[in-house]
Amino acid sequence: MIKLIVFDLDGTLINTIADLSAATDYALSRRGLQTHSIEDYTKMVGHGIKRLIISALEKSLGCSPQETLTEECLKDFTEYYVKHIDVHTRPYEGMPELLRELQDKGCRIAVASNKFQQGTEKLIQEFFSDIDFIAIMGNSPELPLKPDAEVVNYILKKAGVSREESIFVGDSPTDLQTARNAGIDSVAVTWGFRPREVLLDATHLVSSPKELRELLLSLI
């Protein structure tokens, strides 16, 4: 029986790609650099915002950026993104209702994201304010980014549940590797930012929020 479900945020609970793209393009365009398509950005996100900026700069410049340029773009990105974080961002259909249903059935719920902590908390508060998350974990200096298992280990300890009673839901190979590193089962969702073919080694694979609901309700 599953007692704890850890969710990734971007690409799993909410669709953030348009606002992430706009913020990155803003930082690039301020320096006269080539901007990129949303399709391009879906291949860059998921490893924290600094890695996103580096990937975007590499594609624009055709080489690795200097650290000074990366930090300047990161500063512009963050300032823009915090102000425009919810222009296009919305939960995927059915996800708020699913979290409420899981909570009503006594399941503990947590979020583990590589998004910076301020942005993670702001989006959770806006779209899932009625959910009593056991933990809301974004990128912070205290813990390494996924796929390191430390964020999941922290959540498990805080929730007081075993690895056998926990499962991780995400949309990327990074999420699946996080689950493996933590020794827990995984669910891959195919509506996020990565193609289905890179998610086939998940414990479970679902193609719609309805399928995810049916699976999770069968496990708790």
User: Which residues are catalytically annotated?
Assistant: 8
Which residues neighbour 140 within 8 Å (Cβ) at sequence distance 6 or greater?
A: 117
Q: What's the residue count for the chain? A: 220
Q: What are phi and psi of 185, to 5 degrees?
A: -70, 165
Residue with tokens 């850890």: 6
Contact status, residue 186 vs residue 203, Cβ threshold 8 Å: yes
Which residues neighbour 197 within 8 Å (Cβ) at sequence distance 6 or greater?
A: none
User: What are the angstrom distances between the C-alpha of 119 and each of 44, 116, 133?
Assistant: 18, 6, 16
Give which of 141, 173, 168, 143 is closest to 46, Cα–Cα.
173
Which residues neighbour 60 within 8 Å (Cβ) at sequence distance 6 or greater?
A: 28, 33, 34, 35, 36
